[in-house]
Structure 1
């Protein structure tokens, strides 16, 4: 510690550090000369002391980056009223790792394959630069990897980094005790008072007697948190499980109250300003059935929904019944869709499957064409794969959705058809922060004739924030006297590169393309290019884009903002 309680203070100075960038930032942050240069109570004696002891401080700091024999000088220059401390540091050669020795005791000694895997995955290897931060992280990561499968109670027993400053080499050794191998036992659930235990039991993928795995416990935790009844869930084996054989799995949950009210406001260039509200009652008939009602009012869209969902059964299927009204008024076309149906969904890991039976009644009112009334009873199937590293701000992985449905004329249906739709978004990390995003979308309604008897919401239009930027929302389709009508075929795609300058802020360049047509041979492609700003806000991703629609030769902003409350 530097004592500051000395004689009258009148030392004022600046600091200039001449050193390689690999250590300059470190010195500017942590050298006493840098830290105290803006203090008004530093005396001349204290300043002189910091100048004279610069070598000791530099050696301690650069050692954390692997430089153990630096040369450092400090010189005080300038007049008394504007003094400058010039610091020059030559770090010398960086110490590299020569040998790494990992020693294991405990039950893992009977598992040579696992030991070999741990040694190969160890993050520090021969020839790498030695840094204190990397050394600490490697030890922690090694313990976490050991604890992640079978050896829940593993611990680090020893560690040593032997540095030879003459040879600029470091020999590393770490000892781990795996403890016994753990297997999983029955669930011990804490925190339930309102909702039945069967909710958790029915989504539990664990089997009594299987080897302990942190990933498997995480899958149970994710399944519980995916239910609407719980605000939080923690799954572990407890602080000190006494028996490693069939150790009880501790599940701690925090329940939502049965009445939930949420809402939000937002703005998007597609449908304008929005206000939404949602009410859920989570214990209908005292059976944990969920009553869900939603309303969303936008300038160019209004949406109402009501439904009932029952808890998952013992095969993890969730059944729901619902009805909705969705009205959009865009591109000269007023579309009113009424829908009622049944849905059975099952989520297993990254996969979700759904079976549906929906009845549609659509009222299409274009400004420049005849009104179209259509209905259909559509059994359908949907499959989704969500394999991303972060569900809110993904950098790696993909999201794939595909749907298929059909209707038969005469069975509450005006026109027979088969409908298919698929969408993919692929995320590819570039460097430490940047992201490349590719997306594609395909849709088709196979039917005889024009398709006017197929409900409008089952046909396709495109354009707007989530499809082809640079064009108005749903403005690409069949143009009839100034109104854009839905079509039988859809193709869109896009490429986007995101450059993240800060952890929360980035910029993007993009190209979008797409078409929506009734006749593939007469298709017309629409392209948009542009730039934008990306923000990882506390409420989710927010994007602000300026796009140029090449075919329309016009710039259009593309904005998506929302705040929940």
Structure 2
């Protein structure tokens, strides 16, 4: 390099400075835009997370808005939203037209603590709430929820006499009943329910004085892990003592004493107390029955005396009722009841029933339960029906003996004498008679006596005419009916029914013991007892019967539901001639205070007709 060139390079220092400044400006610009993009990303992300959850604006003045800054499961969102909407003080006050600005500000400041307290009941401990007020009458609450608490460890100790070997099964049942195991979600409702269920297992058994001596749920705020400690003292094992009856006015205690189903010295069971109450109520003599066990003041031998307090019904009652059914038409019913016939404690129930297609006069005398648990009755009736071209007048006199529990497992035997006058359109009138012996079995396993959702009912009956001299011929009638109820989901229920019957023996069997089908409790879509054997201008009974039904009920609310069903069945003279028909349709269901009510529109496939059917209660 020459000296001239060296000199020229020192004469222009601004060129290098410009280049350096340009590089710095470029780097600064890039850094600025990078920071801008990062801030924009977090801003968008924050806005996405702080999205509006729900608003409450009952009027035109004040409004609350809730936003979540983190994600929680959708099912939990709906639960928490309902909790905050219903139970925050600010929402109740917003509906008050006298709300003022001062009270509004006070409630806004108070709300974050209420939110934390409410969400803690659902297992969200230490919820953080930030309050914003974009406008004077608008309050925004930004919620940051922790992870929902879960059970990490469970220590349940049950002490007392339940530790003895003879109570081992009860102890194991109580331990297995604990419904809040490790890794389950912890909520206040689940925690309270778990304690109640464990304690109820002991209270229902022979430990009515069981109590919780220690109850603690420790929450780790960092991990949201819950440590459960529970101690239960079973107390002494209790047995039944003496049963004392109070409130009798018209009956001697010796009359109703056989209604007692408890045995002195037997292990205490809550279910046995309910059986005792049902025994008194089913006698038909009492308006109410209250059963109380003196478990807090045990006798020296650790037995608890039982107090039965009764409220008697009126001795004599007269009732008149009117109504209608899609089976037998409009009706009027006269009923007379004497609950202390001949001052012997006999229950006499008599009625006169007048309907368009059925008229009946009935009398039923029921004896009090005896020392062996038998319940006897005398039944007399005259029933006239006019259906599908056949007119039948049946005079019956019979006796029956029942035993067992009416709502669980009941049996009966009986004898009956029937005289029947039969007229079929296009044929001569007939006179039939039959003396029969009967056996029946009724079983029920239902979760509710009036409106069951799960369980089954089985009714069977056998009637035998063994003597030719007292009957037009020897025969055996067999009949069985099974109903089932099952919940498919929490709001969807399935109902099923099947009924089968057969008559074997003599050809000349009274029409009363033959089978016909059709109607509300049979095959819907067909008239009452319109399915059977064609004879002359009428439909008469057949010797075999098979009907069935399947139904789905979707409950739209706690009381109202919609139903879809398919029925099938028929009656015939033999299984070879049996030809089932179909009926199907839609209906509405209502859970009324006196039992389920159903209204159906059914289509009979064989006739092509639509029919309206109405049902009240469960047909037992």
TM over 0.5: yes
Within 1, Cα distance between the matches of 2:132 and 2:353? 68
1:448–1:108 CA distance, 2 compared to 1 (3 A)? closer
Within 1, Cα distance between the matches of 2:597 and 2:433? 37
1:77–1:262 CA distance, 2 compared to 1 (3 A)? farther
| Cα distance, 1:15 vs structure 2 | 3.4
**SS of the residue aligned with 1:117?**
helix
Partner residue in 2 for 1:60: 117
Aligned residue among 480, 497, 511 for 2:552: 497
Check the 8 A contact 2:173/2:201 in 1, yes or no: no
Partner residue in 2 for 1:91: 145
**SS of the residue aligned with 1:516?**
strand
Partner residue in 1 for 2:162: 108
TM-score by length of 2: 0.84
After superposing on structure 2, the runs of 4+ consecutive aligned residues of structure 1 that deviate more than 6 Å are: none
Stretches of structure 1 that go unaligned for 5 or more consecutive residues are 1-9
Check the 8 A contact 1:70/1:91 in 2, yes or no: yes
| Cα distance, 1:199 vs structure 2 | 4.3
**SS of the residue aligned with 1:127?**
coil
**SS of the residue aligned with 1:521?**
coil
Within 1, Cα distance between the matches of 2:334 and 2:176? 53
Within 1, Cα distance between the matches of 2:298 and 2:265? 16
> Which has the higher relative contact order, 1 or 2, with Cα contacts under 8 A spaced 6 or more apart?
1
Aligned residue among 515, 522, 531 for 1:476: 531
Check the 8 A contact 1:369/1:483 in 2, yes or no: no
Q: Deviations over 1:478-507 (max 9, x none)?
A: 123442111111100111111122222111
Where in structure 2 are the equivalents of 1:152-551 lying within 5 Å? 152-238=208-294, 240-243=296-299, 245-348=302-405, 350-408=408-466, 410-449=468-507, 453-551=508-606
Within 2, Cα distance between the matches of 1:72 and 1:300? 72
Within 2, Cα distance between the matches of 1:285 and 1:403? 32
Within 1, Cα distance between the matches of 2:84 and 2:426? 71
- How many pairs are equivalent? 547
Within 1, Cα distance between the matches of 2:428 and 2:65? 78
| Cα distance, 1:18 vs structure 2 | 4.5
CA RMSD of aligned residues (A): 2.2
More helix by share: 2
Stretches of structure 2 that go unaligned for 5 or more consecutive residues are 1-58, 69-76
**SS of the residue aligned with 1:116?**
helix
| Cα distance, 1:558 vs structure 2 | 0.8
Larger Rg: 2
TM-score by length of 1: 0.92
| Cα distance, 1:53 vs structure 2 | 3.7
Q: Does 2:614 correspond to 1:559?
A: yes
1:108–1:263 CA distance, 2 compared to 1 (3 A)? farther
Within 2, Cα distance between the matches of 1:136 and 1:440? 42
218-227 vs 478-487, greater mean Cα deviation: 478-487
Check the 8 A contact 2:170/2:205 in 1, yes or no: no
Within 1, Cα distance between the matches of 2:232 and 2:318? 50
Check the 8 A contact 1:158/1:175 in 2, yes or no: yes
Within 2, Cα distance between the matches of 1:287 and 1:113? 45
Within 2, Cα distance between the matches of 1:17 and 1:372? 82
**SS of the residue aligned with 1:520?**
coil
